[in-house]
Amino acid sequence: MRRARQIYYDGFSAMYDRFVAMHSGDSQRRVREFLADLLPVVHGGAVLDLCTGTGSLLPYLAQRVGPSGRVAALDFSRGMLRQGRRKTKDRCNLLLVQGDAENLPFAAGSFAAVTCSHAFYELKGETREQALREIGRVLAPGGIFFMMEHDLPERPLVRLLFYLRLAVAGAGRVRGFLRQERALLERHFSRVEKVLSPTGRSKVMLCQK
């Protein structure tokens, strides 16, 4: 099953950015800039972008931490990372790593913030729980996990693509997570707050360690 999902996302990587722009109503990438601006990270800080996909958030994170800062990005899809490397080839403070969210190859307390944009719902069951434990482990004391996800889209084509995504992720599990989202996050973090994006089609869950 894992290999099938990798093949799906390797192929999906070619159109992933267009899908997210349609879904979020954010053709100008304001939502990602909005997410980066939420980060309480100063120049020289360190940020991890989990399930980075094609790395669309990375330029904003790199700008946020400055040349002396560090941005790490992790995804399990080689195709997604290939797209991300094309976007960020001129950045020297970025590290793109192929790996799994439930087994992060980083030391404890390494990051002031962890971001995950439009991907966390696709983690399932114990994988999701283990990923949250790993996020807590790699966050520094007081660090924040920023989880950005879509609301249900209105446009029929985009909604169809959304349901296809849920089918790959396991739609029933995602719906169950949505009903328990805040309670689950509050088991792992001391403070959980919801913020809506400028378009109103995406939300950010701010989860402080």
Res 165 pLDDT > 50: yes
Query: What value does the mean pLDDT take over residues 142-164?
Result: 75
pLDDT band at 193 (very low <50, low <70, confident <90, very high): very high
User: Worst-scoring range by mean pLDDT, 112-121, 137-146, 173-182?
Assistant: 173-182
- CA nearest 87: which of 56, 51, 47, 118? 56
Higher pLDDT, 49 or 183: 49
Res 131 pLDDT > 90: yes
Query: What value does the mean pLDDT take over residues 83-92?
Result: 82
Total structural domains in the chain? 1
pLDDT band at 22 (very low <50, low <70, confident <90, very high): low
Q: Tell me the residue range of the domain where 190 lies.
A: 2-208
pLDDT for 110 equals 97
pLDDT band at 25 (very low <50, low <70, confident <90, very high): low
pLDDT for 119 equals 85
Distance CA 34, CA 79 (A): 26
Higher pLDDT, 124 or 177: 124
Name 117's bridge partners: 148
The domain that holds 114 is classified in CATH as 3.40.50.150
Q: Which two tokens stand for residue 135?
A: 């996020």
pLDDT in tens, 39-80: 988 789 999 999 998 898 999 999 999 989 999 999 998 888
Supply the mean pLDDT for the chain.
82
In degrees and rounded to multiples of 5, residue 203 shows phi and psi of -125, 155
Any idea which residue has 């249900």 for tokens? 152
Residues 181/205, Cβ–Cβ less than 8 Å: yes
Query: What value does the mean pLDDT take over residues 173-188?
Result: 76
DSSP state of 36: H
Query: What value does the mean pLDDT take over residues 167-172?
Result: 55
Distance CA 65, CA 70 (A): 7
pTM value is 0.81
Res 173 pLDDT > 60: no
